[in-house]
Amino acid sequence: MEYLTSHNVMVMLLALGLMLGLARLLGELAQRVHQPAVLGELLAGVILGPTILGNFSPELGAFLFPLHGPNLIALDAVATLSVVLFLMVAGIEVDLSTIWKQGRAGFKIGSSSMIIPFVMGFAAAMLVPRALGRHEGADNLVFALFFAIALSISALPVIAKTLMDL
């Protein structure tokens, strides 16, 4: 069993600070150009993820966001706890009168934010199952349903943030 050293904690806090700081900065910039803050926050994730940071500086990406070891376990635990707390706060802050006023817009955003990833994920998993990790002998329909459900459920924090910004 590996333990967190002071170096591991420092790297994890640096990664968390970088994620939060860049998300906040880009969220504020998005609002200044009359876009939802969640757009800037998602862009921060793209910048710090494998698409940009991982491509242009794989060493820095691997240092900040390791794929194994105690830092990954600690960062995953903090991320999971953060999502749970965020969804709890989103649920607590729900104002039912606002939901009734914004009913159609909220319903459209919420349902399309789950239906679109589900349909796209299902179609992709049925069309190119091997490229998405399906192993020989696995049932195509079960794999496609699992993949589609995983995509649609993982959108919940984004849906909650979008609805909170309404």
pLDDT digits (tens, 9 = 90+) for 62-82: 999 888 888 888 888 888 898
DSSP annotation of 83: H
User: Does 3 have pLDDT greater than 90?
Assistant: no
At 98-143, the pLDDT tens digits run 767 777 777 787 788 789 989 998 998 888 877 767 777 778 888 8
Average of per-residue pLDDT across 8-32: 94
SS3 58: helix
- Please give the Cα distance from 152 to 130 (Å, whole number): 20
Q: What is the DSSP string of 101-159?
A: HTHHHHHHHHHHHHHHHHHHHHHHHHHSTGGGTPPTT--HHHHHHHHHHHHHHHTHHHH
What pLDDT shows up at residue 29? Answer: 97
Residue 163's pLDDT is what? 62
Q: What are the DSSP calls for 22-51, one per residue?
A: HHHHHHHHHHHTT--HHHHHHHHHHHHSTT
Rounded distance, CA 58 to CA 38, Å? 26
The SS3 assignment for 92 reads helix
User: 26 pLDDT exceeds 90?
Assistant: yes
> For the chain, what is the mean pLDDT?
84
Q: Sorting pLDDT into bands at 50, 70 and 90, what band is 36?
A: confident
Token duo for residue 130: 């091997």
Q: What is the pTM of this model?
A: 0.63
Q: Residue 126's pLDDT is what?
A: 85
The Cα-based distances of 79 to 17, 19, 115, 138 in angstroms read 13, 11, 25, 30
Give yes or no for residue 5 having a pLDDT over 80: yes
Domain boundaries in the chain? 1-91, 94-166
Whole-number pLDDT of residue 59:
94
What average pLDDT does the segment 147-155 reach? Answer: 80
CB 71 within 8 A of CB 64: no
- Is the pLDDT score of 165 beyond 70? no
